[in-house]
Structure formats: C-alpha cells, structure tokens
C-alpha cells in the first residue's frame, strides 16, 4: 500500500458494499472487505467488473490509479488501518450494533464509521456504541459506483468537524453529499421511494396495472423529468407563467380527494407476492440480473453524459470532479505530451462493435485543444478573436478499440512557425500498442476576418520553444520523407 493512499474498510460486501468497494477503489483508495458469505468475493468481482466498465466512461480523463483490494477474514483485520469504515450489513438493527461494537474495539478513534442504512436513524445505530461520535449515516443509491447521491445524517453526538470531514471525503469520491438537517426514519429519498412503491403495490393488487405498465408510466414520463430537475422545479414549470403558486392553486385540492392510498399499505400476502413476481418474470425474466445491470448502467452513463454536456444536475457534479482529478500535461522534457488519457465511452461504438472512425477525428481534435491550451491559445485567447483552424488531417487506423478501453494520446509539434502548427498524435492502448496516428495541420486565424494571421507574440514564443524541444525526438519511419 502506498503511503499517501487512504484505506476504506467495507463491512458487508453485498449489493451496496460491493458498490462502495468499487467507488473507493476506482477513486484510488485501498479497500479491505469483510463479509462472512463465502460467495462475497465472487459477487464483488462481478460488481467491480460492471464499475470498471461504466464509471471511467463518465470522464474525459483517467480516474486515479486503482487501489488494492484485500479480503479479510475478520472485522478486526478489515478495520484496523482504515480511514473510512462503511458498514453495509443487512438492515437489522441488532446486527448492525454488534458490528459497531466489534469495529470500535479494533479501529482507529479518528476513523469515520458510516452506515449505509436505508431506514435507521443515526441515533439508533449509535446506541450501544463505545464512541457514538464516530458513527454517522452515509446512505448511498444503487449502483453506488455510478449514482452520486449520499445522504449524510448526523446527530448532536457527532462533532461538526467530523461531519464536515465525512462530507469532504464523499465529495472527493465524485459523489454528492446531501446533508439531512434532522434525523428521520428513512432519511429523505427513501421516503419518496417508499411512497411510490406503496402506491404501485396498490395498483397491482387492484389489477389496475402490471409491473411493466407501472414501469412504463415512470420511464416514458416523469422519470425523465426527475433526472434533471427533480420535483419542485418541474412543478414550478407545470404551473405555467404563474409558476408554483398557480400549480398549488390548481392541484393542491387533489391532495384532499385523495388521488392516492398512500396512508395504507397493502398486505404482502403470498398471492400478491406471486402476482408481482410472476409479472416481473414475464417483463424481465428473459435477462439475467447481470444483463439487466449492464443495461441499467449503460443507460445511466448515457443520461449522465448528456447532463454533463449541458453542465446540469448530476452532470455538473461530474464536471467538477473531472476538473479535480485531471492531471496537467507534463511539458518539462523533450518528450511527446500526453494530451489525453481516458476510456472509450459507450456512444463512440458503432454497428461493427468498435470505436467508430468519426471518433478518431474527435480524439485528435481534443488532443489538439490540449496543445493549444498549453501554448496559451485557450478559451480566454479565443475570446479575443484569435484561434487555430484545422486545414488537413491524415489518420491511420491501425487497430480496433472498444467501449470501456483505456487509451492515451501522445502529441508532438512537428512544425511551429508563424501561422503554421503541425502536430503528430499517437493514440496508444493500455499495453502501449498504437491504435491510430494522426497528422494534423492547423493554421492560426483571426475569428473576425476568418483569415490566416500570425499568433500573438507570446503564443508564437511558446510554440517555437515547444517545436525546438520536440525536434530532438526521432521521427516515425512513415514521416521521414514528408
Ligand atoms: N439494496 C439497496 O438498494 C440499498 C441498500 N442499502 C442498505 O445497505 C445495507 C446492505 O444492503 P444490501 O447490500 O442491499 O444487502 P445484501 O443482502 O446484498 O448484502 C448484505 C451483506 O452483508 C453480509 N453480512 C451478513 N452478516 C454480516 C455481518 N455480521 N457482518 C458483515 N457483513 C454481514 C451478507 O453476507 C451480505 O453479503 C442495508 O443497510 C440496506 O438498507 C442502502 C441503499 C440501497
Ligand atoms: C429499497 N431501498 C430502501 C433499499 C432503496 C435505498 O435505500 C436506496 C436506493 O438505492 O434506491
């Protein structure tokens, strides 16, 4: 384990613990897992495979180097060096309390112990603990490696400094800590989810709708709205020009009619359970859970990437995290510059099952943007009506690459003189083999006249110095006569 790496202990490695393990590992933490189930390792391996495929696709930069994963046979072994301990054991209070007692006998007093509990209040899980001040609720959402929300719930026992530290750590994992103001059963989000679920059970029991029809009502309609604006912003717009006040005026009285049966819970008789389970089998039984997870993850990645392009909602969070983890390119020596280091996202794949040829143009264009920024021809410079246009590009496609695969681009200046900037990019797979090369000619232009012109002197000076440094790098054979 490297000295500056943090360690997370995952107590309970099921659906949620596995997701937490992946979130920590892919953000560079070392992870120690304790789970008494002999199948836990196999299950976590499957979750990790999903996470390694999906999470890196959200970023235009590589995630930190993955941490190490260790399976421990005891809670004491898992927690002894941990900075963060995430308890994701079954939702049973007595069992969780026992876990905390054992954990606190062996963990550091400054470690944060966080519970994934969906419903227990932090004061309930702190009860019986030796050091209640060390325990908070950090309630995540499935899949933990993709969904950013974590509800942070503390009590007066928790020093504010500790809760702030916990919040900072959650942010550093690319997640969104939602500080719940006061403890309450099931926090904030699960109260909605339970209300929706309860109503859906009534609709099935009354044979008004099947599981599939209920899912259609969500995914073709309000589910799409919720992902980007939530409830209140959506309803504000639904009130028309008069906004929220008109919305409440019009629909407020419906709450009294009532449209829902939310106060009651249908009894989960064997008959109702069988009805739901067989409808669910008919709806989705053709797919394994792993296949459904992959479909879910690919759809989530698509939605998140779209929000990221618009810098909205969870997409804005991704942009912030990306800026935090992006390593500045190293231009210190006479070496090509690593201009890109990322994974092939899902939407770059075509009907041949590999990265479509149009995306190579995007890769080299993105790499050229990094070189431009290094020269000082960045967004600010472009605002001053100066920029570069590509006038020629020659791409050699040397091998296939597919969704999820990591690649880097090494770029060098072949010519940097006056208006001319000629670049050579090499797109490399993780094993160092060349996927593609691109020779790109750019011309400096005035965005006012749309004609070629000399760059500003400070840009030219940097360009000439980079060109001189790169001139010492031997040319690849196919460029020797050009
Ligand atoms: N499944 C979900 O959608 C969500 C669940 N949660 C919460 O996360 C926690 C875990 O839930 P899931 O992962 O869904 O359950 P799960 O059943 O998938 O996993 C629980 C794991 O805990 C292990 N375990 C059993 N006894 C243990 C012990 N004494 N010490 C350590 N591990 C033990 C089990 O072997 C199992 O692998 C619960 O508190 C739940 O409310 C939170 C968010 C979402
Ligand atoms: C069903 N559940 C209460 C365990 C759900 C959660 O706690 C959060 C989620 O992922 O939906």
Residue pLDDT, tens place only, 116-152: 999 999 999 999 899 999 999 999 999 999 999 999 9
Looking from the CA of residue 194, the nearest atom of ligand 2 is 3
Average pLDDT estimate for 12-19: 98
37 pLDDT exceeds 90?
A: yes
- What's residue 3's pLDDT? 56
**Rounded (to 5) percent helix, strand, coil in the chain:** 45, 20, 35
Asked whether 24 lines ligand 2 (CB < 6 A), one says no
How far is ligand 2, taken at its centre, from the CA of residue 16, in Å?
Answer: 9
Asked whether 195 lines ligand 2 (CB < 6 A), one says no
Asked whether 193 lines ligand 2 (CB < 6 A), one says yes
Look at residues 286, 318, 352 and tell me which one is the last residue of a structural domain: 286
Q: How confident is the model at residue 266 (pLDDT cuts 50, 70, 90)?
A: confident
Is 199 found in the same domain as 167? no
**Substitution site in 12, 40, 91, 187 for ligand 1 pocket (most atoms within 8 Å of beta carbon):** 12
In the block, residue with structure tokens 């929000």: 307
The answer to whether 12 is a known ligand-binding residue is yes
- Ligand approaching nearest to the C-alpha of 115: 1
Look at residues 187, 202, 224 and tell me which one is the last residue of a structural domain: 187
The answer to whether 13 is a known ligand-binding residue is yes
195 pLDDT exceeds 60?
A: yes
Look at residues 187, 217, 245 and tell me which one is the last residue of a structural domain: 187
Is 199 found in the same domain as 152? no
Q: Are 96 and 87 in contact (CB under 8 A)?
A: yes
Both tokens of residue 473? 């790098």
Domain that holds residue 362: 328-479
SS3 label, residue 76: helix
Q: How far apart are CA 158 and CA 132, in angstroms?
A: 7
Asked whether 117 lines ligand 2 (CB < 6 A), one says no
Q: How far apart are CA 465 and CA 447, in angstroms?
A: 25
Ligand 1: residue whose CA is nearest its atom 18: 14
Q: How far apart are CA 411 and CA 147, in angstroms?
A: 34
Ligand 2: residue whose CA is nearest its atom 8: 141
In angstroms, the Cα distances linking 203 to 14, 261, 274 are: 31, 10, 15
Ligand 1: residue whose CA is nearest its atom 14: 15
- What's residue 262's pLDDT? 62
How far is ligand 1, taken at its centre, from the CA of residue 186, in Å?
Answer: 15
In the block, residue with structure tokens 């490696």: 145
SS3 label, residue 189: helix
Asked whether 282 lines ligand 1 (CB < 6 A), one says no
2 pLDDT exceeds 80?
A: no
Q: Are 452 and 460 in contact (CB under 8 A)?
A: no
Q: Are 111 and 84 in contact (CB under 8 A)?
A: yes
Q: Does residue 63 fall inside a structural domain?
A: yes
Q: Does residue 316 fall inside a structural domain?
A: no
Nearest to 58 by CA among 373, 316, 291, 230: 316
pTM score, whole prediction: 0.90
Is 169 found in the same domain as 214? no
Is 245 found in the same domain as 334? no
How many structural domains is the chain composed of?
Answer: 3
Q: Does residue 308 fall inside a structural domain?
A: no
Backbone angles phi and psi of 277, in degrees to 5: -65, -40
- Ligand approaching nearest to the C-alpha of 94: 1
The CATH number that applies at residue 55 is 3.40.50.720
- What's residue 334's pLDDT? 77
Q: Are 440 and 392 in contact (CB under 8 A)?
A: yes
| 369 vs 329 pLDDT, higher one | 369
The CATH number that applies at residue 231 is 1.10.1040.10
In the block, residue with structure tokens 């196919």: 478
Q: Are 474 and 432 in contact (CB under 8 A)?
A: no
260 pLDDT exceeds 70?
A: no
The answer to whether 180 is a known ligand-binding residue is no
The answer to whether 47 is a known ligand-binding residue is no
The answer to whether 16 is a known ligand-binding residue is yes
- Residue 238: other Cβ atoms inside 10 A: 14
The answer to whether 17 is a known ligand-binding residue is yes
Average pLDDT estimate for 54-64: 94
Asked whether 36 lines ligand 1 (CB < 6 A), one says yes
Q: Does residue 177 fall inside a structural domain?
A: yes
Ligand 1: residue whose CA is nearest its atom 16: 14
Is 276 found in the same domain as 349? no
* Stretch among 8-12, 119-123, 250-254, 334-338 having the lowest mean pLDDT: 250-254
How far is ligand 2, taken at its centre, from the CA of residue 247, in Å?
Answer: 30
Both tokens of residue 196? 């929706």
Q: How confident is the model at residue 174 (pLDDT cuts 50, 70, 90)?
A: very high
Both tokens of residue 414? 């072949």
261 pLDDT exceeds 80?
A: no
Q: Are 417 and 327 in contact (CB under 8 A)?
A: no
Is 31 found in the same domain as 177? yes
The CATH number that applies at residue 426 is 3.10.129.10
Q: Does residue 296 fall inside a structural domain?
A: no
**Substitution site in 15, 117, 193 for ligand 1 pocket (most atoms within 8 Å of beta carbon):** 15
Is 246 found in the same domain as 181? no
Average pLDDT estimate for 374-396: 97
- What's residue 323's pLDDT? 95
SS3 label, residue 166: helix
Is 366 found in the same domain as 402? yes
Asked whether 12 lines ligand 1 (CB < 6 A), one says yes
Q: How far apart are CA 420 and CA 72, in angstroms?
A: 59
447 pLDDT exceeds 90?
A: yes
Is 473 found in the same domain as 416? yes
SS (H, E, C) 241-283: HHHHHHHHHHHHHHHHCCCCCCCCCCCCCHHHHHHHHHHHHHH
Is 206 found in the same domain as 85? no
How does the average pLDDT of the chain come out, rounded? 94
Looking from the CA of residue 118, the nearest atom of ligand 2 is 7
Backbone angles phi and psi of 404, in degrees to 5: 90, -15
- What's residue 1's pLDDT? 45
In angstroms, the Cα distances linking 208 to 6, 258, 278, 355, 469 are: 52, 17, 16, 45, 73
How far is ligand 2, taken at its centre, from the CA of residue 248, in Å?
Answer: 29
Q: Are 154 and 115 in contact (CB under 8 A)?
A: no
- What's residue 58's pLDDT? 95
Q: Does residue 94 fall inside a structural domain?
A: yes
Query: What digits encode the pLDDT tens for the residues 285-324?
Result: 999 999 999 999 999 999 999 999 999 999 999 999 999 9
In the block, residue with structure tokens 């600010």: 380
How far is ligand 1, taken at its centre, from the CA of residue 275, in Å?
Answer: 26
Q: Does residue 306 fall inside a structural domain?
A: no
Is 182 found in the same domain as 195? no
363 pLDDT exceeds 70?
A: yes
482 pLDDT exceeds 70?
A: no
Nearest to 452 by CA among 423, 417, 425: 417
Is 381 found in the same domain as 245? no
H/E element, 407: strand 406-417
Q: Does residue 307 fall inside a structural domain?
A: no
């Amino acid at each position: 384990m490297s000295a500056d790496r943090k360690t997370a202990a995952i107590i309970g490695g099921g659906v949620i613990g596995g997701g937490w393990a992946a979130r920590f590992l892919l953000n560079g933490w070392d992870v120690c897992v304790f789970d008494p189930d002999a199948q836990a390792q196999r299950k976590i391996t499957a979750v990790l495979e999903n996470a390694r495929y999906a999470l890196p696709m959200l970023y235009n930069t590589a995630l930190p180097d993955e941490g190490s994963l260790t399976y421990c046979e005891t809670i004491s072994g898992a927690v002894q060096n941990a900075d963060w301990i995430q308890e994701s054991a079954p939702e049973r209070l007595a069992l969780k309390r026992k876990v905390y007692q054992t954990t606190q006998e062996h963990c550091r007093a400054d470690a944060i112990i966080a519970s994934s509990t969906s419903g227990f209040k932090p004061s309930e899980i702190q009860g019986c603990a030796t050091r209640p001040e060390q325990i908070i609720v950090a309630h995540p959402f499935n899949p933990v490696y993709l969904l950013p929300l974590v509800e942070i719930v503390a009590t007066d026992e928790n020093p504010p400094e500790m809760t702030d530290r916990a919040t900072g750590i959650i942010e550093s994992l690319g997640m969104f800590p939602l500080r719940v103001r006061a403890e309450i059963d099931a926090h904030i989000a699960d109260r909605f989810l339970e209300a929706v679920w309860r109503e859906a059970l009534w609709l099935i029991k009354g044979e008004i709708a099947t599981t599939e029809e209920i899912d259609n009502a969500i995914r073709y309609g309000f589910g799409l709205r919720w992902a980007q604006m939530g409830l209140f912003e959506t309803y504000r717009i639904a009130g028309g020009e008069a906004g929220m006040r008109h919305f409440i005026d019009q629909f407020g009285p419906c709450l009294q009619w009532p449209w829902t049966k939310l106060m009651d819970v249908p009894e989960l008789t064997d008959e109702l359970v069988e009805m739901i389970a067989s409808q669910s089998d008919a709806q989705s039984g053709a797919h394994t859970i792993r296949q459904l997870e992959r479909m879910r993850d690919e759809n989530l990645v698509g939605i998140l990437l779209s929000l990221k392009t618009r810098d909205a909602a969870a997409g804005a969070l991704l942009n912030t995290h990306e800026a935090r983890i992006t390593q500045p390119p190293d231009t210190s020596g006479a070496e090509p510059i690593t201009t890109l280091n990322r994974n092939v996202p899902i939407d770059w794949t075509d009907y041949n099952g590999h990265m479509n040829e149009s995306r190579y143009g995007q890769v080299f264009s993105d790499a050229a943007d990094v070189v431009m920024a290094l020269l000082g021809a960045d967004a600010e410079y472009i605002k001053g009506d100066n920029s570069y246009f590509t006038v020629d590009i020659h791409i050699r496609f040397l091998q296939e690459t597919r969704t999820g695969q990591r690649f880097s681009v090494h770029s060098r200046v072949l010519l940097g003189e006056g208006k001319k900037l000629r670049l050579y990019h090499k797109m490399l797979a993780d094993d160092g083999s060349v996927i593609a090369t691109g020779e790109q000619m750019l011309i400096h232009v005035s965005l006012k006249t749309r004609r070629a012109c000399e760059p500003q002197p400070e840009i030219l000076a940097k360009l000439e110095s980079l060109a001189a440094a790169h001139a010492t790098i031997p040319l690849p054979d196919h460029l020797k006569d050009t």
